[in-house]
């Protein structure tokens, strides 16, 4: 049997502790599968005395994660601390610069520095593996980076944030408000004490930026993403969507268009009878549409210690099995220097169906006037209806709900500006984009 693969792990939290336990429990099986043993030789975290429920005796403890990455006797540095900046950034860079392979679950780091780190990895003959960084245990990185090589991808999209999907599912199933569902998600540990990063869509955006690069062979452009979170979604929207045969999901979508690539994260209505609409709770799903393979949909656990550690384990096993001196798979599927510049398609040119909910004062002619503004902006309507069932009092504002056929974002925005100018709107209109999966 070949020499053991020596690994150093920085970060012993939810994912790190799971990884240590699994590697220790499955030591023999992994050695047989990989043709060599995998030994944890060094670890680092902030607090040495913390009980992490795993055995750390005989493993070198580093007070400083950067020292572990730059000095420890290791073949692989596993970064499980998180964060786009230091120490994660300096650690990963230091390890790669001395030719030590890196495995990380850190989407924030990759979204900010992925291409630079990929270049360093290539220059020093090291691998940069990050399957766990997007959709946790779902093997979407490998699918895009290796399995689908040669396909031209037209769209990749998915539910990539369990917190948001849990909240939206609970709102729909139990008729509870956003705030009530967020509190429950926090109580169950599905949402952070400060949930902004998840519910505002930033976490999905980080993951999407990585998928976009892999799917379209472009540089990562994490700051160039249209972003809308789920905080404005009301129970009224969810009920109206359900009445119309849709469910609301927070999707990250990257799509090739004639004018460039669209990257967008927003609440999205998906037809009720599609598989992605049925993905509930904290589960994740990623769909890829391409010319040779057609449509691929992967559904599975997007977070959690063991599910995420499973993806990290797979990355480590790939390194253990790789032959010394063999050509490495580049981190983003093609050599970093061959990645194309990212060309953004303007959100105004996005084409699709729209759900529009307006609250209006109860006045004769308003309904017809709304329809007139839609027609003037070349927006063809699939349906328009007035909801008055929720309002017993005739003085209460009425709700008008419109669903459009495919139209441009610019037309919808223009129509809404003109409707606002009429003076009969109460509050802000709600606009939710509709996404139609190809096959499901």
Ligand X SMILES: NC(=O)c1ccc[n+]([C@@H]2O[C@H](COP(=O)([O-])OP(=O)(O)OC[C@H]3O[C@@H](n4cnc5c(N)ncnc54)[C@H](OP(=O)(O)O)[C@@H]3O)[C@@H](O)[C@H]2O)c1
Q: Which active-site residues does the annotation give?
A: 207
Distance between CA atoms of 115 and 335, rounded to whole angstroms?
A: 10
Q: Which is nearer to ligand X, 205 or 248 (CB)?
A: 205
Q: Does 80 bind ligand X (CB under 6 A)?
A: yes
Which residues, at least 6 apart from 30, have a Cβ–Cβ distance to it below 8 Å? Answer: 23, 37, 38, 313, 317, 320
Query: Using CB under 6 A, which of the segments 29-37, 42-50, 235-243, 325-333 binds ligand X?
Result: 42-50
Which residues, at least 6 apart from 194, have a Cβ–Cβ distance to it below 8 Å? Answer: none
**Residue found by looking up tokens 């190809």 in the block:** 438
The minimum distance between CB 25 and ligand X, in angstroms, equals 18
Say how far residue 252 (Cα) sits from the centre of its chain.
6
With beta carbons less than 8 A apart as the criterion, state whether 254 and 343 touch. no
Touching ligand X, residues 248-307 (CB under 6 A): 303-304
Q: Does 165 bind ligand X (CB under 6 A)?
A: no
- Interface with ligand X (CB under 6 A), residue from 9, 14, 318, 374: 14
Size of the site for ligand X (CB under 6 A): 25
With beta carbons less than 8 A apart as the criterion, state whether 66 and 90 touch. yes
Query: Using CB under 6 A, which of the segments 40-48, 169-177, 237-245, 381-389 binds ligand X?
Result: 40-48
Query: Using CB under 6 A, which of the segments 103-111, 267-275, 386-394, 412-420 binds ligand X?
Result: 103-111
- Interface with ligand X (CB under 6 A), residue from 20, 34, 42, 44: 44
The minimum distance between CB 55 and ligand X, in angstroms, equals 16
- Work out the angle at residue 167's Cα, subtended by the Cα atoms of residues 162 and 168, and round it to the nearest 5 degrees: 100
The minimum distance between CB 97 and ligand X, in angstroms, equals 19
Q: Does 50 bind ligand X (CB under 6 A)?
A: yes
Distance between CA atoms of 115 and 128, rounded to whole angstroms?
A: 11
What Rg do the C-alpha atoms of the chain give, in angstroms?
24
Q: Does 87 bind ligand X (CB under 6 A)?
A: yes
- Interface with ligand X (CB under 6 A), residue from 46, 346, 390, 438: 46
Q: Which is nearer to ligand X, 3 or 51 (CB)?
A: 51
Give the number of other Cβ atoms within 10 Å of residue 433's Cβ: 20
First to last CA, the chain: 47
Touching ligand X, residues 299-328 (CB under 6 A): 303-304, 308
Query: Using CB under 6 A, which of the segments 6-14, 229-237, 398-406, 408-416 binds ligand X?
Result: 6-14
If 0-12 CB within 10 Å is exposed, 13-18 middle and 19+ buried, where does residue 323 land?
exposed
Which residues, at least 6 apart from 249, have a Cβ–Cβ distance to it below 8 Å? Answer: 159, 165, 168, 267, 268, 270, 276, 277, 279
Q: One symbol per residue from 119 to 138: x for binding ligand X (CB under 6 A), - otherwise; what is it?
A: -------------x---x--
Query: Using CB under 6 A, which of the segments 79-87, 139-147, 225-233, 392-400 binds ligand X?
Result: 79-87
Residue 98, SS3 per DSSP: coil
The minimum distance between CB 91 and ligand X, in angstroms, equals 9
Residues binding ligand X (CB under 6 A):
10-16, 44-47, 50, 65, 80-82, 87, 105-107, 132, 136, 303-304, 308
């Amino acid at each position: 049997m070949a020499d053991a693969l020596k690994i150093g792990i920085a970060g012993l939290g939810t994912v790190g502790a799971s990884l240590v336990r699994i590697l220790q429990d499955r030591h023999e099986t992994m050695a047989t599968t990989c043709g060599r043993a995998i030994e944890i030789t060094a670890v680092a975290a902030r607090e040495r005395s913390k009980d992490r429920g795993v055995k750390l005796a005989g493993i070198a403890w580093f007070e400083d994660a950067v020292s572990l990455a730059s000095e420890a006797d290791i073949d692989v540095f596993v970064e499980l601390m998180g964060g786009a900046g230091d120490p994660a950034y300096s650690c990963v860079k230091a390890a790669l610069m001395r030719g030590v392979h890196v495995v990380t679950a850190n989407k924030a780091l990759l979204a900010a520095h992925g291409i630079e780190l990929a270049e360093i990895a290539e220059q020093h003959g090291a691998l940069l593996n990050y399957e766990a960084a997007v959709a946790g245990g779902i093997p979407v990185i490998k699918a895009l980076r290796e399995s689908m090589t040669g396909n031209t991808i037209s769209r990749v999209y998915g539910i990539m944030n369990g917190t948001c999907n849990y909240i939206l599912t609970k709102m729909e199933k139990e008729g509870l408000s956003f705030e009530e569902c967020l509190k429950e998600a926090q109580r169950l540990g599905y949402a952070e004490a400060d949930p902004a990063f998840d519910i505002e869509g930033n976490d999905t955006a980080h993951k999407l930026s990585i998928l976009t690069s892999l799917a379209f062979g472009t540089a990562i452009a994490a700051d160039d993403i249209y972003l809308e979170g789920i905080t404005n979604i009301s129970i009224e929207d969810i009920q109206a969507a359900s009445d119309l045969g849709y469910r609301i999901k927070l999707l990250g979508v990257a799509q090739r268009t004639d004018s460039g690539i669209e990257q967008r994260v927003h609440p999205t209505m998906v037809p009720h009878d599609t598989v992605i609409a049925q993905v509930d709770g904290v589960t994740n799903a990623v769909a890829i549409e391409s010319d040779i393979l057609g449509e691929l949909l992967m559904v599975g656990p997007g977070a959690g210690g063991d599910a995420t550690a499973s993806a990290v384990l797979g990355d480590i096993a790939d390194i253990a099995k790789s032959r010394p001196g063999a050509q490495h798979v580049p981190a983003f599927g093609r050599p970093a220097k061959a990645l194309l510049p990212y060309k953004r398609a303007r959100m105004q040119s996005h084409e699709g169906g729209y759900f529009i909910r307006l609250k209006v004062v109860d006045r004769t002619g308003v309904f017809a006037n709304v329809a007139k503004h839609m027609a003037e902006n070349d927006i063809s309507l699939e349906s328009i209806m007035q909801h008055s069932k929720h309002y017993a009092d005739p003085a209460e504002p009425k709700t008008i709900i419109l669903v459009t056929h495919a139209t441009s974002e610019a037309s919808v925005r223009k129509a809404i500006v003109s409707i606002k100018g009429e003076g009969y709107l109460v509050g802000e209109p709600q606009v939710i984009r509709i996404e139609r999966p190809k096959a499901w």
